[in-house]
Amino acid sequence: MSSTLFTPYTIKNVTFPNRIVMSPMCMYSCEAEDGKATNFHYTHYTSRAIGGTGLIITEAAAVTQQGRISPQDLGIWGDEHIEGLKKIVQLSKEQGAKVGIQLAHAGRKAVLDGPIIAPSAIPFSEDRKTPEEMTTDQIKETIHAFKEGARRADEAGFDVIELHGAHGYLMNEFLSPLTNKRTDEYGGSKENRYRFLREVINEVKEVWNGPLFVRISADEYNEEGNTIDDFIYFAKEMKEQGIDLVDCSTGGVVPATIDAYPGYQVTHAERIKKEANIPTGAVGLITHPLQAEEIIHNDRADLVLLARELLRDPYWARTAASELGAELKAPKQYERGWN
């Protein structure tokens, strides 16, 4: 068998050396609460790059201060963040990885002092703060903040931008009928619930020509929530707008019990890929090389994203290449101990 997991993949002008992606993971490590990258970030991401990961998508970076999940989140709301982000990008690129950034706004899931905002004034749970319903001006300002975030990401040298439309954060809150009860043009029908994301994509594309991904929660685990058919509709709209890949996660919109088993979200990536005819990324309990190989080889998704397994083993790509008999070039300094 020749491995497809280790074949390159090109989107626009960017070629990923293999299909293995580090899934975005908040590290809550900006101890100074200023959103700036720290030494921890430099070590953390570079370790996965030297381990052979094809694409690293850095953790959710907040496009506004109020859009952080916690005070320690990574930020991209000011030009002062560019320098640290640039260093993350340079260090990982030196080791052969491509680097993406996830642009995010936490909406009602922000755990911060002061007011928080969301499409509707409904808290995530009883013990969480009730958000303020966004005014039209706040909606426009937030869309602009995503555009500014994209401009800064471009200046920092990222190869990919991923918009965080999953896990019940702001963009997801607009998409879901569970969290969006607005009566204006941003709420109601699915066309209207998509409007916020549509406008974010349009604005981002004004300043960003590179690969653009959107992460979605393709299952809301609630019978009144969006269904997979709704997400096929949204994915078709995304494709129309020039989105390059839909990264298919699930959950986080409302509290729910999730039955997580190996590859539990892969069927969503597969269905969206086939039915909306758009490249997808599969994520969620993908831990074994053969499992990842199966997903790519059967064309169920174009990329596989690993989160926790890459925390355990930053050299997972090397481990997988060795198990699959695929070639993964060693960093020059490691040649004597790679295979």
Ligand X SMILES: Cc1cc2nc3c(=O)[nH]c(=O)nc-3n(C[C@H](O)[C@H](O)[C@H](O)COP(=O)(O)O)c2cc1C
User: Is residue 182 at the binding interface for ligand X, with CB under 6 A as the rule?
Assistant: no
At its nearest, how many Å lie between ligand X and the CB of residue 54? 15
Answer yes or no whether residue 172 interacts with ligand X by CB under 6 A.
no
What residues are designated binding site for substrate? 28, 164-167
Residues 308-327 close enough to bind ligand X by CB under 6 A: 308-309
Cβ at position 252, least distance to ligand X in Å: 9
Rounded to 10°, the helix 228-240/190-207 angle is: 30
Point out the residue whose Cβ comes nearest to ligand X.
307
Quote the Cα angle for 233-240-187, to 5°.
Answer: 50
Binder among 200, 306, 321, 328 for ligand X (CB under 6 A): 306
102 counts as binding ligand X under rule CB under 6 A: yes
Alpha helices in the chain (DSSP H): 39-50, 82-94, 136-156, 170-175, 190-207, 228-240, 266-275, 289-297, 308-312, 316-324
Q: Is 22 helix (H, G, I), strand (E, B) or coil?
A: strand
Q: What's the closest the beta carbon of residue 186 comes to ligand X, in angstroms? A: 23
Cβ 37 to ligand X shortest distance, Å:
14
Nearer Cβ to ligand X (182/272)? 272
CA atoms within 13 A on the CB side of 52: 24
The smaller minimum CB distance to ligand X, of residues 182 and 218, is found at 218
Q: Which of positions 227-286 make contact with ligand X (CB under 6 A)?
A: 249, 283-286
Closer Cβ to ligand X, 201 or 292, answer by number: 292
Instruction: Provide the binding-site residues for ligand X, judged by CB under 6 A.
Output: 23-26, 59-60, 102, 164, 166-167, 215, 249, 283-286, 306-309
